[in-house]
Amino acid sequence: MNFIKGMTWGWVGIRGQWATEEAKHSMKEMKERLAVNWTAIAFQGLQETAHSTEINYKDGTVVTDDEVYWAINEAKDLGLSVCLKPVVNCSDGTWRAHINFFDLDVPCEPKWSEWFESYTNFILHYAKIAEETDCEMFCVGCEMVQTDRREQEWRELIRKVREVYSGVVTYNCDKYQEGQVKWWDAVDVISSSGYYPVDSWDEHIQRIKKVVKRWGKPFFFMEAGCPSRFGSPMVPNDWNLNKGQVSEEAQDDYYKEMFSKLDNEEWFGGYMLWDWPAHLYERDQASSNDDYCMYGKKAEKTVRNYYSSK
């Protein structure tokens, strides 16, 4: 697997925000300013709560199929390889990692079987689009911590995905969970969310390295990044930390440390950094923006220089 110099584009994916001039500008800026060779086109389907069993991906705020086709084609026109990444979220704001049901089916209670039936329909819908548009990679799930133990259901889902999609299949497990997934042999590439505290890289690199060696699969970070805020390098997964206390330096230092720690690890396959929205803030507002996007910030140059050197 060639080194992935990637960036996640378009999250969260709101209907009407893609297939616009602003979105076109955003993707072009991402390619030119970061020297990326990959992008993960990421968007959501929605279930009401963590215990709902129906996933909506056809109406409401969810991006349309036409918008998904548009984003893939734009990326391809820019010469980028594409990972299509449909993600389920909960409308009430509960993090998807908490989607959970009783291990045994109980009458009058929501069931894993019902949820996986809906989730399978959701994933297969986009796997077919990924095949039709020649996406190089397809991500079957993201940070679904409580679902990870449902090994047989995941194996069956991936089997069905392979019936309609012929490219590379991955699953994006959550941070710290690399060693908990028991079905890595079912995918082609192991990926995870690498939001690790800036002072803990040595520990986690050694831990993940053992997982990769055990399964004999390529590995990369499907997500990794840090907001531009004081304190964020210690908890880079916390997007609400210290709202308003902006620090481009904190974000930039995090990237420099992450890149330096992983640069000589031969088993490590790259990054799909987090994240680059479909509608960018104005460049003259970069110094007041405290989110993950590094557009116009110091970390932008660090990412570009690193990617250009690989």
Tell me the pLDDT tens digit for each residue of 172-207: 999 999 999 999 999 999 999 999 999 999 999 999
d(C-alpha 226, C-alpha 292), whole Å? 6
For the chain, give the mean pLDDT.
97
Mean pLDDT, to the nearest integer, of 55-65?
96
188 sits in the region (left: phi over 0; alpha: psi -120 to 50; else beta) called: alpha
Mean pLDDT, to the nearest integer, of 78-103?
98
The overall pTM is greater than 0.95 = yes
User: pLDDT grade, residue 244 (50/70/90)?
Assistant: low
**CA proximity to 39, closest of 129, 139, 121:** 139
Residue with tokens 């799909």: 272
Q: Is the pLDDT of residue 2 over 70?
A: yes
DSSP category for residue 56? B
Model pLDDT for residues 63-73, shown as the tens digit of each residue: 999 999 999 99
Tokens of 10: 């378009």
d(C-alpha 296, C-alpha 299), whole Å? 8
HSE, side-chain direction, 13 A CA sphere, residue 64 = 8
Q: Is the pLDDT of residue 241 over 80?
A: no
Q: b/e string for 177-207 if b means 16 or more Cβ within 10 A?
A: bbeebebbebbbbbbbbbbbebeebeebbee
Tokens of 50: 């963590």
User: pLDDT grade, residue 242 (50/70/90)?
Assistant: low
Work out the percent of the chain whose per-residue pLDDT is above 70.
99
**Are 229 and 248 within 8 A, CB to CB?**
no
Q: What is the CATH number of the domain that holds 48?
A: 3.20.20.80
**Are 113 and 103 within 8 A, CB to CB?**
no
Q: Domain residues for 124?
A: 4-309
Mean pLDDT, to the nearest integer, of 159-163?
98
Residue with tokens 């069993």: 53
Straight-line distance from the first to the last Cα atom of the chain, in angstroms, rounded to the nearest whole number: 13
Residue ranges of alpha helices (H) inside 6-84 are 21-34, 65-77
Q: How many domains does the chain have?
A: 1
d(C-alpha 132, C-alpha 16), whole Å? 23
DSSP category for residue 3? -
Q: Report pLDDT for 273.
A: 98
